[in-house]
Chains A and B, each alone.
Chain A
Amino acid sequence: MSTFSRRQMLSVIGASVAAPAVVRAQDTSPIKIGGMLPLSGPAAIEGAQVRKGYEFAVAEANARGGVFGRKIELVLEDDEGNATKGVNAVRKLIERDKVPFIIGTYPTAVCVAATKVAREYKVAMISGGSTAVAGTDANTVGDPWFFRPWTDSNGQGADTAKAIVHQFHGKKVAIIHDLTNYGVTLADQAAAIVPKEGSTIVAREGFNAGEKDFSTLLTRLRTLRPDVVYVAGWAGDGATIVRQAAEVGLRAQFIGSGSMLSDDFIKLAGPASEGFAVATLYEATTPNKVGRAFGERFKAVYKHEAGTLNSLGFDSTSIGIEAMRRVGRPDSAAIQQMIKGGMKDFPLVQGPDGTTAAFDDKGGVTFPMFIAIVKNGKRTLS
């Protein structure tokens, strides 16, 4: 009955001895994780900043020895802020690089399109800056595949609207917003809440993201004499608007949307950025102890203060890596389960002291925002 020759027998024994060694040798290869951002196009400023947060989190995790003895390698795809390119990027990351989770991306419309595909592959996505409520609204309640570890645009719109009325005493408020999902939802929220708090909206105007000339629009707004102008959109456009408003002589308190304020913004908008305010998730002077420590470590490496976008990129990436470490293997479905329910003790650098990655059943985290103001060319918390 014995059909094995001696040579075959030896080779089987030899293989069984060698195989674990082979597997172990593969084990030390780096684990790839997926990142997706607009690195070019109208949201490139934001993309470049979120990217630093990703890379910083990966570098710190690797400095601690990686996960289960393997280094982490970030594979980054540029979606250009374009939904088609975003969907391609997700497919590429999952099929070619076999990533267990993806951090990304910035524009919400791209997130919604991309998550649809990622969910089919059972791969979780953690926001790379997308804040519009549509991102988590697209999730099935109780089984989210898109996670946003910070307050959504409704929360941001509400916090900003209250600050406009009470902190900046805006009686006559003008709203300018870009026509992306993010800009429109923020404007809707502010337009709903400002009147309830007792002030009036004197104008509401949309523009296409990436528009370069706002002088006519701003000249017209000047005639309406608003106390506060709320600009909801991306940083590049915000900087252009603030600069051109000074050129046409529109003097008002300018308030921007969440992620607009950064050192790049102050540089691009120039002296016109003085007094500019935003509702923000993070500032380097945050009272959040974990956030403060992150800010110091970040500054030591990048030689500039960490901003909202650096911090949220860092949080999203850290959550993904930590969830993978807790699961113990790069298993994408298990990682989604872990992010959903197992991270309630994991501290975030954003938000007030003690904020943790306690996701609700739609995949969001809620906490009150800070108001940051530019004073003497520097960002400060009010």
Chain B
Amino acid sequence: MDLFLQYLANGIVVGSSYALVAVGLTLVFGILGVVNFAHGEFYMLGAYAGLTAITVFHVPLPVAVAAVIVVSALLGWGAEVILHGPLKNRDATSSIISSFGLAVVLQNAALIWIGPEPQLLQTSLSAIPVEIGPVFMPLQRLMLPIATAVLLVALHLVLRYTWTGRSLRAMAQHGTVARLCGVRIKRVAIVTFMVAAALAGVAGFLMSSVYMVHPLIGNMIVLKAFTVVILGGMGQIGGAAAAGILLGITESMTSAYLDNGLRDIVGFVIVIVVLLVRPNGLFGRKADRS
């Protein structure tokens, strides 16, 4: 039983990173209808931005987080200008393909300018162990679920109680009607991309002290995030958060009780089954998009 709790905790740590990345992905899809394959690169570049801030400029942790948010948000803005702005009236496949292109460009740019060698952010937190009952982990791992919870609650409050949040939700419900009611669509699109990229960037930065960073880390995480988004129901923010944690736990349990080699397969098998049985995802509502 003690071990079960430890496995559960490990799963929640990994799952919260999936959740953080997937929420941004589902936000962009739900509000703007853009399937963004370059989302994993926001994660990767966020990690590098934080690493650079700390190892090159020697800034304290909160400043580094702020730097990551600024850099990622700017990237998100750039992505909106490329992926959404000029393509929003075209077929959905146009933005999918150009997001693939953007992912390749960003990855290779990182390979050329940063280099392929993996890097790791060494912080003083890694040496501090935390014990909660039978569960044991270094503090920096524990930071992941905590930071995820804080960010997701903040996101929820913004969406629920601010004017910006209300216009984002209005866009998600019906773009044309939102515009008729005075929502500035261009601004909403930019804000959506910036928020999504910032979430992914912060996730990348948080993970850079736990896992290694190299230019291709975005590939696997974006696949996992898509799994999570489909499981949670496309466009469902709460669904993505729950499904992310669930996927992390499932992977951890697979590795603990079945076979470690199966852990990457399990998520994708579940997606196929869910799509067959519940096409709107585990938490998806049936809705007709007009």
Residues of A within 8 A of B (CB): 39-42, 44-45, 47-48, 179, 205-208, 210-213, 215-217, 219-220, 223, 236, 239-240, 247-249, 264, 268, 270
Contacts and interface: CB of A to CB of B under 8 A. Distances in A.
Contacts of B263: 211
13 contacts: A41-B216, A47-B116, A48-B117, A210-B220, A212-B217, A213-B211, A215-B10, A215-B137, A220-B3, A220-B7, A220-B256, A236-B214, A247-B126
A44 B256 contact: no
Given A205-B261, A213-B14, A45 B211 contact: no
A42 B13 CA distance: 23
A208 B255 CA distance: 12
A276 B109 CA distance: 35
Contacts of A208: 261, 264
Given A205-B260, A206-B259, A236-B212, A219 B118 contact: no
B116 A39 contact: yes
B235 interface: no
A270 B121 CA distance: 11
A247 B138 contact: yes
B259 A205 contact: yes
B136 interface: yes
A179 B252 CA distance: 18
B10 A268 contact: no
Contact of B6 (A179, A219, A268, A270): A219
Contacts of A239: 118, 212
Nearest to A80: B216
Contacts of B173: none
Given A41-B216, A208-B261, A216-B11, A48 B116 contact: yes
B122 interface: yes
Given A205-B259, A211-B263, A220-B255, 4 more contacts: A45-B117, A215-B141, A236-B212, A247-B141
A-B pairs, 3 with minimum CB distance = A44-B116, A206-B261, A212-B211
Interface of B: 3, 6-7, 10-11, 13-14, 111, 115-118, 120, 122, 126, 136-138, 141, 207, 211-212, 214-217, 220, 252, 255-256, 259-261, 263-264
A247 to B, nearest CB: 5
A216 B138 CA distance: 14
Contacts of A39: 111, 116
A207 B260 contact: yes
Contacts of A47: 116
Contacts, number: 85
Contacts of B126: 247
A248 B256 CA distance: 14
A40 B261 contact: no
B255 A216 contact: yes
A195 to B, nearest CB: 21
A270 B126 CA distance: 11
Nearest to A236: B118
Contacts of A270: 122
Interface of B, secondary structure class, is helix
Contacts of A179: 261
Contacts of B136: 248-249
Interface of A, secondary structure class, is helix
B260 A44 contact: no
B34 to A, nearest CB: 27
Contacts of A213: 10, 13-14, 211
Contacts of B214: 40, 44, 236
Contacts of A44: 116-118, 214
Contacts of B120: 268
A248 B115 CA distance: 30
Contacts of B111: 39-40
A208 B251 CA distance: 13
A208 B265 CA distance: 10
A150 B204 CA distance: 40
A264 B11 CA distance: 29
B122, B136, B252, B261 — most chain A CB neighbours (10 Å): B261
A309 to B, nearest CB: 13
Contacts of B137: 215, 247
Nearest to A237: B212
A179 B263 CA distance: 13
Contacts of A207: 260-261
Contacts of A42: 216
B116 A217 contact: no
B125 to A, nearest CB: 12
A268 B126 CA distance: 13
A210 B219 CA distance: 11
A220 B260 CA distance: 11
A40 B214 CA distance: 9
A216 B211 contact: no
A239 B122 CA distance: 14
B218 to A, nearest CB: 12
Nearest to A47: B116
Contacts of A40: 111, 116, 214-216
Contacts of B141: 215, 247
Contact of A217 (B207, B216, B217, B255): B255
Nearest to B112: A40
B99 to A, nearest CB: 21
A213 B263 CA distance: 11
Contacts of A216: 7, 10-11, 252, 255-256, 260
Nearest to B248: A213
B127 to A, nearest CB: 9
A206 B255 CA distance: 10
A82 to B, nearest CB: 11
